[in-house]
Amino acid sequence: MDENTGSRPLEEGIVRDFRSNLSYGGYLHLDELLSAQVPLSTPEQHDEMLFIVQHQTSELWLKLVLHELRTACDDLAHDDLPLALKRLARVKNIQRTMIEQWSVLATLTPSEYVRFRGFLGTSSGFQSYQYRAVEFVLGNKNADMLEVFSDDQRATALLVATLDAPSLYDEFLRLLARRGHPVPDELLHRDVRAAHVRNDALVPVLAAIYADVEHHWDAYEACEELVDIEENFQLWRFRHLKTVERTIGSLTGTGGSSGSAFLRRALELTFFPELYAVRGQL
């Protein structure tokens, strides 16, 4: 530290020439990334930048969540439960970040939002194809959603791929069956393009795992990880709902949905119903 200026001199070994060396900004494509925040309001409203950054950041996190979940499905298909659990642990930490992130958008007051809301047109978070892909991987599949993205080849390709593939829960149940657990045959050979619905015959299979944790520890741990992921997802949905309520009240969404009423109904959805039902069987 230079006592006269208070500055810290650069160490001799620090790279300064990036004509041939890869820089931090180059590796991360920061020129492209940081030029993607383009407010549409006229005159430009200060708080629109918050709105854009919040949603772009969410999409980056969703990209990573999807990357981890799809790879976890592959791990389960190859009987590598420990590695799948490692990926699910990462997903849970990403989810916590995404849940807390709503507190930033909640600083946007109704009077601030209304100044640029009209410039959003019909764009809406409902149209997030990565969010839909995450729901598909977790088992909440709905082929009708493809129509919303019919004009976007990239989105359609991703959604068709996740619709056609077994969900995370499908792969976990198949792993249990390969280990000798009597998973109902109809679950092992179901139409993976359909949403999973509760199968009461699966509950005693899971109850046997919970009743003998010592011998089924990793399967038991996986069950609890899945419950954690669902709970985090519901907390994210709830924070989304409350942020929308405090910002637009009961107004309809920009994409044509009923707004907060639509989001409230989403709280009724569940990915792993038997993992909740088993708690009443122990």
Task: Specify the fold of 41-248+255-280.
Answer: Methane Monooxygenase Hydroxylase; Chain G, domain 1 (1.20.58)
Q: Write down the pLDDT at residue 97.
A: 98
80 or 260, which is more confident: 80
Q: Which amino acid is at 84?
A: A
**In terms of C-beta density within 10 A (0-12 exposed, 13-18 middle, 19 or more buried), how is residue 127 classed?**
middle
What is the pLDDT confidence band of residue 12, given thresholds at 50, 70 and 90? confident
Q: Write down the pLDDT at residue 1.
A: 53
Structure confidence by residue, pLDDT tens digits, 210-268: 999 999 999 999 999 999 999 999 999 999 999 999 998 888 878 888 888 888 988 88
Q: Write down the pLDDT at residue 2.
A: 55
Instruction: Give ∠ CA 140-138-274 in degrees, rounded to 5.
Output: 80
196 appears as a binding residue in the annotation: no
Q: Write down the pLDDT at residue 5.
A: 62
Q: Which amino acid is at 16?
A: R
117 appears as a binding residue in the annotation: yes
Structure confidence by residue, pLDDT tens digits, 94-136: 999 999 999 999 999 999 999 999 999 999 988 999 999 999 9
203 appears as a binding residue in the annotation: no
Domain boundaries, given as residue ranges, for the chain: 41-248+255-280
51 appears as a binding residue in the annotation: yes
- Percent above pLDDT 90 for the chain: 84
Dist. CA 212–CA 153, nearest whole Å: 48
Give this prediction's pTM.
0.93
Q: Write down the pLDDT at residue 233.
A: 96
Dist. CA 194–CA 164, nearest whole Å: 9
Q: Over 70: is that where the pLDDT of 3 sits?
A: no
Dist. CA 26–CA 32, nearest whole Å: 10
Q: Calculate the alpha carbon distances from 164 to 43, 88, 94, 273 in Å.
A: 45, 21, 25, 21
Structure confidence by residue, pLDDT tens digits, 223-236: 999 999 999 999 99
Structure confidence by residue, pLDDT tens digits, 128-170: 999 999 999 999 999 999 999 999 999 999 999 999 999 999 9
Q: Write down the pLDDT at residue 38.
A: 98
240 appears as a binding residue in the annotation: yes
254 appears as a binding residue in the annotation: yes
215 appears as a binding residue in the annotation: no
Average pLDDT value for the chain: 95
